[in-house]
Amino acid sequence: MKDIAKFIAGFERFQAKYFREDRSLFSRLRQGQQPRALVISCCDARVDPAMLTGADPGDLFVVRNVANLVPPYRHAAEAPGIRAAIEFAVKSLGVEHIIVLGHSNCGGIQALMDGEGITQRNYEFIGDWVGIAKRAREQVLRELPQKPPALQARACEQAAILVSLDNLLSYPWIRERVDQNTLALHGWHFDIDTGELLAYSAESATFGSLVSGPAPDQRTDA
């Protein structure tokens, strides 16, 4: 009950800010939403896209799932809800950016790296879902066979982001907009350990620092 009380108190602060102190934002949002970006992020409780980006209500259209994965385009395939959300964001809302936001220490990617071991923990659905990125796992095991598991997992987190970006381009109406330069795709990786945000560069084929982490003496975990 203490957790619920915390959430209710949080809503009261939200209500006071947006419905008492400054009602202008929701006066506009009452007429409809016009987010400029779709964020596809993990449902991990530590990675909230709006909090990480300082976004206000109405700024982001967010789709969250295990390991921030995008299934490939098919008319009658699995995960129709995720496809429907992406379709709505692109076709109806006309977003100009799609950000696939991954993160370090991702449980979904760890499940992918565990391979057959995931079924031994009595999960019914996770194995099939993370299998969307199985080629990321195969690439990591092929290219980094002798590396420590933690390094392999981090490499797989980033490789899975690229799988999702590739899968987005399998949607014909996304490919068309990308080719017309009316829609841009971004791959981001948030490092929970350092507070760093990395972005994928197609030119260098690497993830580089978009926003570096705080200096060691500024961190609060010491």
103 and 142 housed in the same domain: yes
10 and 69 housed in the same domain: no
What is the pTM for the complete model shown?
A: 0.91
3-state secondary structure of 55: coil
pLDDT at site 13: 93
pLDDT band at 212 (very low <50, low <70, confident <90, very high): confident
24 and 37 housed in the same domain: no
CA distances from 190 to 82, 157, 176, 186, 199 (A): 22, 10, 29, 13, 9
120 and 87 housed in the same domain: yes
Q: Which residue has the higher pLDDT, 212 or 193?
A: 193
pLDDT at site 119: 57
DSSP string, 115-183: GGGGGGGT-SSHHHHHGGGHHHHHHHHHH-TTS-HHHHHHHHHHHHHHHHHHHHTTSHHHHHHHHTTS-
Give the amino acid at 66: V
Q: Is the pLDDT of residue 219 over 80?
A: no
pLDDT at site 213: 82
18 and 125 housed in the same domain: no
pLDDT at site 22: 85
Q: How many domains does the chain have?
A: 2
77 and 138 housed in the same domain: yes
pLDDT band at 220 (very low <50, low <70, confident <90, very high): low
pLDDT at site 75: 59
pLDDT per residue as tens digits for the range 72-85: 998 555 678 999 99
26 and 39 housed in the same domain: no
5 and 71 housed in the same domain: no
Q: Is the pLDDT of residue 222 over 60?
A: no
Residues with Cβ within 8 Å of residue 57, at least 6 apart in sequence:
18, 25, 26, 29
User: Which two three-digit tokens encode residue 160?
Assistant: 């899975």
Q: Closest by alpha carbon to 93, among 35, 175, 169?
A: 35
Structural domain span for residue 70: 33-218
pLDDT at site 159: 98
3-state secondary structure of 191: strand
Q: Is the pLDDT of residue 66 over 60?
A: yes
CATH of the domain at 63: 3.40.1050.10
Element (H, E) at 11: helix 2-16
pLDDT per residue as tens digits for the range 26-41: 999 999 999 999 999 9
3 and 81 housed in the same domain: no
123 and 45 housed in the same domain: yes
pLDDT per residue as tens digits for the range 158-211: 999 999 999 999 999 999 999 999 999 999 999 999 999 999 999 999 999 998
201 and 94 housed in the same domain: yes
Q: Which residue has the higher pLDDT, 90 or 20?
A: 90
Rounded CA gap, 108 and 87, in Å? 24
pLDDT at site 21: 86
15 and 123 housed in the same domain: no
Element (H, E) at 188: strand 184-191
pLDDT at site 2: 75
